């Protein structure tokens, strides 16, 4: 199922439906099968389309953390926290704040 979904999403990239939601969906699906590098690339594209997409920032941080790119994860979550604040998304703001605190612990 995941492979078919990923193939379907990839087929839409570059077309008229390409955008933050498509790239987020593709990144999330890739994250789900453990393709962290590809997931991070797609999630970066998602936030390039929509820098206020806090859910994409959150998943980008998770992908970067899984790749052991701590600074990139922290940067993604900082951007995500700011995006969530601007949109009034308190839950996403809280989650990313917790993720960032855990990451920054020695």
Query: Which residues, in sequence order, are CB contacts of 4 under 8 Å at separation 6+?
Result: none
Domain 2-104 sits in CATH 1.25.40.10: yes
- Each residue's pLDDT tens digit in the chain (106 positions)? 689 999 999 999 999 999 999 999 999 999 999 999 999 999 999 999 999 999 999 999 999 999 999 999 999 999 999 999 999 999 999 999 999 999 998 7
Distance between CA atoms of residues 51 and 59, nearest Å:
13
| Sequence spans of domains, the chain | 2-104
- pTM summary value: 0.94
Distance between CA atoms of residues 87 and 80, nearest Å:
10
């Amino acid at each position: 199922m995941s492979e078919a979904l990923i193939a379907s999403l990839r087929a839409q990239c570059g077309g008229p439906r390409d955008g933050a939601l498509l790239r987020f969906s593709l990144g999330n699906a890739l994250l789900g099968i453990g393709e962290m590098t590809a997931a991070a690339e797609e999630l970066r594209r998602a936030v390039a389309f929509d820098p206020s997409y806090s859910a994409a920032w959150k998943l980008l941080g998770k992908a970067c953390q899984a790749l052991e790119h701590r600074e990139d994860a922290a940067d993604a979550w900082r951007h995500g926290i700011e995006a969530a604040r601007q949109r009034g998304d308190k839950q996403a703001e809280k989650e990313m704040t917790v993720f960032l605190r855990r990451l920054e612990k020695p």
